């Protein structure tokens, strides 16, 4: 407790600042994706179709909503509040991540910037999977850094759980976080890389990634079987192909709009300057 006593004030302040997203939580009208999630939740409650949310690739979100919808008088307000709480957790995780790579003051400022970022606050106030995936991704990066500092079975288990949770937040996009450790190994100093690739440490690294890799293989096999039988692949793959690879040709065609694509989608949702800053940050980090 003495070790964490100094963290109470900065983390408590971050949570207080991040709670601003609770203000006028229901001011935004219901979003179509929120309606889709609620329909999946009601199918779970009424028909016990627990695997149905897998079709949209966002099972964790729907499963977490089930008890809230059962208990709350206003289901939409309850599930939006859940996403605000996840956003608050994301601010704390950003602070903890910053503590691993910089000083306390810079880490706290990073947490505050996350908590007050208009785009983050906007997503927190809608029951969308993006907030869950964002917080889960920060958790994965923090787990990777902790495991690199001290390779233990306990930290490997935490990373394994983090990777699976991130994948279940948004299939198949969440699987991209499986590349965090290989990328870290590729850009770290040679001496650190050799230490982590020793036989005893390598076993722990592989064990940490095995559950998420098995899940990815299962998704690929089931999606392949569904596709060969003439059905949609499920697991959110149709949106990945349609939006990310530009296969949705009819969206916007009636109004003469352009075909969707990954870069266009990122710029539309995040804005061009944010995408540019992100690319600069990736290059600077690698260098």
Instruction: For residue 273, give its domain range.
Output: 245-287
Best CA proximity match to 94, nearest among 117, 81, 113, 78: 113
Give the confidence band of 285 by pLDDT, cuts at 50, 70, 90: confident
Residues constituting the chain: 287
Give the confidence band of 154 by pLDDT, cuts at 50, 70, 90: very high
Mean pLDDT of 96-107: 93
Average pLDDT over the chain reads 88
Is position 164 within any domain? Answer: no
Per the structure, the count of domains in the chain is 2
255: pLDDT strictly greater than 80: no
Is position 158 within any domain? Answer: no
What's the pTM value of the predicted model, to 2 decimals?
Answer: 0.88
90: pLDDT strictly greater than 80: yes
Mean pLDDT of 178-201: 92
- In the chain, the largest separation of any two C-alpha atoms, in whole Å, equals 63
Answer yes or no: are the C-beta atoms of 277 and 283 closer than 8 Å: no
Count Cβ atoms below 10 Å from residue 176 Cβ, excluding itself.
13
Is position 61 within any domain? Answer: yes
Characterise 234 by phi-psi region: left (phi > 0), alpha (psi -120 to 50), beta (else).
left
Task: State the pLDDT at residue 187.
Answer: 85
Domain boundary among 98, 127, 156: 127
Q: What residues contact residue 113 under an 8 Å CB cut-off, 6+ apart?
A: none
Is position 72 within any domain? Answer: yes
Report CA dihedral (199, 200, 202, 204) to the nearest 10 degrees: 160
Is position 237 within any domain? Answer: no
Burial class of 194 by CB neighbour count within 10 A (0 to 12, 13 to 18, 19+)? exposed
Task: State the pLDDT at residue 1.
Answer: 62
Pairwise pLDDT comparison (264 vs 92), residue with the higher score: 92
Rounded distance, CA 107 to CA 88, Å? 15
Most confidently modeled of 60-64, 120-124, 164-168? 164-168
Answer yes or no: are the C-beta atoms of 174 and 167 closer than 8 Å: yes
Rounded distance, CA 274 to CA 232, Å? 33
Is position 134 within any domain? Answer: no
Is position 5 within any domain? Answer: yes
> What are the pLDDT digits (tens) for 206-229?
999 999 999 999 999 999 998 899
Mean pLDDT of 111-124: 91
Domain boundary among 84, 102, 127: 127
Domain boundary among 66, 93, 127: 127
Give the confidence band of 263 by pLDDT, cuts at 50, 70, 90: confident
């Amino acid at each position: 407790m003495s070790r964490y006593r100094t963290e109470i004030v900065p983390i408590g302040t971050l949570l207080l600042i991040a709670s601003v997203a609770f203000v006028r939580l229901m001011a935004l009208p219901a979003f179509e994706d929120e309606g889709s999630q609620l329909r999946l939740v009601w199918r779970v409650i009424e028909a016990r179709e627990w695997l149905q949310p897998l079709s949209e690739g966002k099972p964790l979100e729907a499963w977490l909503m089930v008890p809230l919808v059962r208990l709350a008088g206003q289901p939409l307000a309850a599930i939006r509040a859940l996403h605000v709480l996840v956003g608050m957790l994301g601010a704390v995780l950003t602070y903890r991540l910053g503590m691993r790579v910089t000083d306390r003051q810079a880490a706290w400022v990073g947490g505050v910037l996350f908590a007050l970022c208009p785009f983050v606050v906007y997503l927190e106030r809608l029951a969308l999977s993006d907030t869950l995936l964002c917080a889960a991704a920060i958790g994965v990066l923090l787990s990777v850094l902790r495991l690199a500092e001290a390779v233990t079975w306990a930290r490997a288990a935490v990373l394994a759980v983090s990777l699976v949770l991130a994948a279940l937040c948004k299939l198949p996009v969440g699987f991209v976080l499986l590349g965090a450790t290989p990328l870290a190994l590729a850009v770290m100093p040679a001496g650190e890389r050799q230490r982590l690739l020793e036989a005893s440490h390598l076993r722990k690294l592989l064990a940490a990634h095995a559950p998420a890799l098995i899940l990815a293989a299962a998704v690929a096999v089931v999606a392949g079987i569904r596709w060969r039988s003439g059905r949609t692949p499920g697991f959110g793959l149709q949106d990945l192909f349609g939006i990310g690879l530009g296969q949705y040709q009819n969206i916007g065609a009636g109004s003469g709009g352009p075909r969707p694509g990954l870069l266009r989608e990122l710029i539309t949702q995040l804005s061009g300057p944010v995408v540019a800053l992100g690319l600069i940050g990736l290059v600077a980090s690698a260098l």
